[in-house]
Amino acid sequence: NAGVTQTPKFQVLKTGQSMTLQCAQDMNHNSMYWYRQDPGMGLRLIYYSASEGTTDKGEVPNGYNVSRLNKREFSLRLESAAPSQTSVYFCASTQGSGANVLTFGAGSRLTVL
């Protein structure tokens, strides 16, 4: 039982480069989320998808785009990376509607030089 799988685990980018973080869950969950985690701060919601076919902005959406490709997959794209986007990114999912018990992936550590 894989749960939530994120790729890549590590990535180094130069300022202005683009990349996509991939996330897939095998629990048949409806809702999926992208968070970023920075030292000394709580997790911050970037985007979420309440159900297949819908996406909404979270607390810190600027500089990011998302795609809910199907019920299993939810990707996060950085179109033009900036040093301020250096962070650890977590994908999460939950069964029902609303942010209740979240299952998280292992995280993707992104460094933008």
Partner 1 sequence: EDQVTQSPEALRLQEGESSSLNCSYTVSGLRGLFWYRQDPGKGPEFLFTLYSAGEEKEKERLKATLTKKESFLHITAPKPEDSATYLCAVRSGDSNYQLIWGAGTKLIIKP
Does residue 98 bind partner 1 (CB under 8 A)? yes
We find the least distance from the C-beta atom of residue 105 to partner 1, in angstroms, to be: 5
Beta bridge partners of 77: 20, 65
Question: Quick one: which of 99, 60, 66, 97 has its CA closest to 82?
Answer: 60
Name the residue with tokens 């994908």.
91
**Residue among 8, 12, 18, 59 that touches partner 1 (CB under 8 A):** 59
Encoding tokens for residue 104? 């998280």
Encoding tokens for residue 55? 């996406």
Does residue 66 bind partner 1 (CB under 8 A)? no
| Interface with partner 1 (CB under 8 A) | 4, 31, 33, 40-45, 48, 50, 56, 58-59, 90, 92, 97-107
